[in-house]
Amino acid sequence: MNSRSSKKNVFFIGLMILVLNSQAQTNNVKIEPINFSNVNVTDAFWKPKMDLVATKTLDACIYQTEEKTARIRNFEKVARKKGEAHEGVFYDDSDVFKALEAMAYAIKTSHDKKLETKADQWIDKIAAAQLEDGYLNTYYTLTGLDKRWTDMSMHEDYNAGHMIEAAVAYYDATGKRKFLDVVIKWANYFDSLFGPGKRDWVTGHQELELALVKLYRVTNDKKYLNLADWLLSERGKKLAKGYTWTDWKDTLYTQDQVPVKEQKDITGHAVRAMYLYTGAADVAAHTGDKDYVTAMRRVWEDVVYRNMYITGGIGSAGSNEGFTNDYDLPNEQAYCETCASVGMVFWNQRMNSLTGNAEYIDVLERSLYNGALDGLSLSGDRFFYGNPLASSGKNARKEWFGTACCPSNIARLIASLGNYIYGYSNGKFYVNLFVGSNTNIKVPNGDMQFTMATNYPWEGSMKCTLTMKKKVSLPIAFRIPGWANGIPAPGNLYSYENTIPDTKPIMLVNGKEVIYTIEDGYAIINQEWKNNDVVEYQLPMTIQKIKARDELLQDNGRVALQRGPIVYCIEGADNNGKAWNVIAPSNSVFTTENFSILDEKVVSLVANLPVVQINNDGLSAQTVMQKVRAIPYYTWCNRGNNAMQVWLPTSLKNEKINY
Ligand SMILES: [Zn+2]
């Protein structure tokens, strides 16, 4: 191909992507998130993490997937057709797809050719493992195709959902169709078997629903949207068949006890729940089905008002990797799977998009900066599966897991962070997250470049510069985080220990303070803008002491520390190897101090606090005053295994003081 025709193709592909993306617009959402491909992240906090994911984290995922384990080899075995045995677990294909999805985002933002070559090699192997009819699953192809589609717990749908997500992301990143064509063939095959008037199917691990909506958006073929909607409608009818694990008999585990539209309580496996509601929100965004929105609001309140940790983590129990009773949020035993926090980010973005309400982004931000980010080490190549809120020092970050859903999930979230910063709908521009970045938006009389500079989350000041050729009248809406408005979290699960901090955001235009209006949790300034106008948005970064509702027994008589979106913890590495002997009385005063955890520059919190020390006799103890340092929760366990605690006792009376 000569250079002239290849240029033409690039132009054609570019045009096609533009057209396809524009088809994704829907009238049923209040805020359309601006796609990460139109957002250039320059942020001092997030950009190094995105670079780390594109290098170290993806290197780790590739090494584990391709060399250390048989995940890629399984695809090669299928293609060879020599009757070789499957290695690993039936859901291992999904890890290949999730890593590929993260690679796609990283390729789009970093233009890494080496990564693209690796992705193309994998895609060739995946394509070669597709059967003539469209089926693609290494487990059943190598262990016996006669068993396929007989057991709904075996993740055939889940694996394929991740395959679709990866293919859509790769097509979006590179314009290459090969992988997209593979998943279209798979989806058409699935559609030929299942659906109204055909066979029933209840997804054993929800994921395919949201993936099919992505496929619909990129192909504009309504069949896939209808299929996603139909899969949702299959739940709650007691249709599930073939579940072989004993706990699967409990339909609560897979949110299959009542139809989705009638669901009230959050139940069962946390990641399944998050993917289910994300998929339902995606379907509702296109169909306008209000019943899904109403049901999800009910369930969302059950999550956020009664079942969410201060870190935004969810799913307290390891036994079902999920939810238990309301207000049952143990700290040391907290499961809080990284994937569940990633799912909270997905679902809450969709809820914000559907309703236009900022409180969903408050929850998204809490899960993102705390529960999810904690899943990745500062080195980028160690991971947490569970993210407890207290540790006696036994927890360690791991290189990989037998069930390895979390590493590639946190990788794909961080690599696509640009998806969560801005929104634009009905002539209004939204700033949801405060991340140094720029984006270009189409306004009625041309383009406007919006550039945000900030040192968030350590400082609360955002300086936004507007660049344009012609003057523009445009409302700009900045999210007012709950913590900057006297609401530590939606609902009353968490409140302030003493008094509500005096906190109100301030807005300035070209250096002069302006009055903004407040709507749905956004501070809105509506005026005519000219080139180089500067909007400054300042959030008060007060150190906040938070207490939990009395029903959260494990937090009784304790406080947690938060500043901006960051939740803090005490770690042994900063406090003579101990974290459970620190008392934080109500009158204790914390101040900020710049600090480094390895190379990560953070704002730490320090205070002189009573610390319990054991006397030389080994029997008695005394309390001494010591300078104690609290660090951002997401940075703990990067300096070896250490004791850690988020909720600090306010007096010696409290049990579980460990010295
Ligand atoms: Zn996981």
Give the model's pLDDT for residue 500: 76
- Residue-wise pLDDT for 211-248, tens only, equals 999 999 999 999 999 999 999 999 998 787 766 544 45
In this model, does residue 25 exceed pLDDT 70?
no
Helix, strand, coil proportions of the chain in percent (round to 5)?
40, 20, 40
Local confidence band at 615 (pLDDT 50, 70, 90 cut-offs) = confident
- Residue-wise pLDDT for 104-115, tens only, equals 999 998 888 999
Give the model's pLDDT for residue 4: 37
Q: What letter does residue 142 receive in the DSSP assignment? A: H
In this model, does residue 541 exceed pLDDT 50?
yes
What is the CA(410)–ligand 1 centre distance, in A?
A: 9
Query: 96: Cβ–Cβ under 8 A, 6 or more apart, which residues?
Result: 65, 71, 72, 75, 122, 126
Buried b (16+ CB within 10 A) or exposed e, 153-187: bbbbbbbbbbbbbbbbbbbbbbebeebbebbbbbb
- Residue-wise pLDDT for 66-82, tens only, equals 999 999 999 999 999 99
**Residue 41 to residues 37, 57, 234, Cα–Cα distance (Å):** 10, 18, 40
What is the CA(254)–ligand 1 centre distance, in A?
A: 16
Q: What letter does residue 419 receive in the DSSP assignment? A: G
Q: Determine how β-strand 472-479 pairs with β-strand 428-431.
A: parallel
Output the pTM of the full model: 0.94
Quote the CA–CA distance of 65 and 71 in Å, as a whole number. Answer: 5
**Residue 190 to residues 160, 208, 228, 231, 541, Cα–Cα distance (Å):** 10, 11, 11, 12, 51
Question: 3-state class of 122 per DSSP?
Answer: helix
What is the CA(339)–ligand 1 centre distance, in A?
A: 4
Give the model's pLDDT for residue 621: 83
First to last CA, the chain: 72
Question: 3-state class of 589 per DSSP?
Answer: coil
What is the CA(216)–ligand 1 centre distance, in A?
A: 26
What is the CA(94)–ligand 1 centre distance, in A?
A: 11
What is the CA(160)–ligand 1 centre distance, in A?
A: 17
What is the CA(419)–ligand 1 centre distance, in A?
A: 21
What is the CA(338)–ligand 1 centre distance, in A?
A: 6
In this model, does residue 22 exceed pLDDT 70?
no
Q: Span 515-532, mean pLDDT? A: 97
In this model, does residue 299 exceed pLDDT 70?
yes
Give the model's pLDDT for residue 294: 96
What is the CA(99)–ligand 1 centre distance, in A?
A: 13
Quote the CA–CA distance of 601 and 595 in Å, as a whole number. Answer: 6
Mean pLDDT of the chain: 92
Residue pair 424/433 in contact (Cβ under 8 Å)? The answer is no
Quote the CA–CA distance of 358 and 431 in Å, as a whole number. Answer: 10
**Residue 254 to residues 202, 504, 637, Cα–Cα distance (Å):** 10, 42, 32
What is the CA(174)–ligand 1 centre distance, in A?
A: 27
Q: What letter does residue 392 receive in the DSSP assignment? A: E
What is the CA(45)–ligand 1 centre distance, in A?
A: 24
Report the candidate in 98, 116, 148 with the shortest Cα–Cα distance to residue 339.
98
- Residue-wise pLDDT for 122-138, tens only, equals 999 999 999 999 999 99
Give the model's pLDDT for residue 243: 63
Report the candidate in 562, 521, 514 with the shortest Cα–Cα distance to residue 431.
521
Paired tokens of 369: 């900066």
Give the model's pLDDT for residue 239: 82
What is the CA(273)–ligand 1 centre distance, in A?
A: 13
Report phi then psi at 560, rounded to 5: -115, 155
- Residue-wise pLDDT for 345-360, tens only, equals 999 999 999 999 999 9
Where is pLDDT greater, at 161 or 111? 161
Give the model's pLDDT for residue 499: 73
What is the CA(398)–ligand 1 centre distance, in A?
A: 13
Give the model's pLDDT for residue 657: 56
What is the CA(365)–ligand 1 centre distance, in A?
A: 19
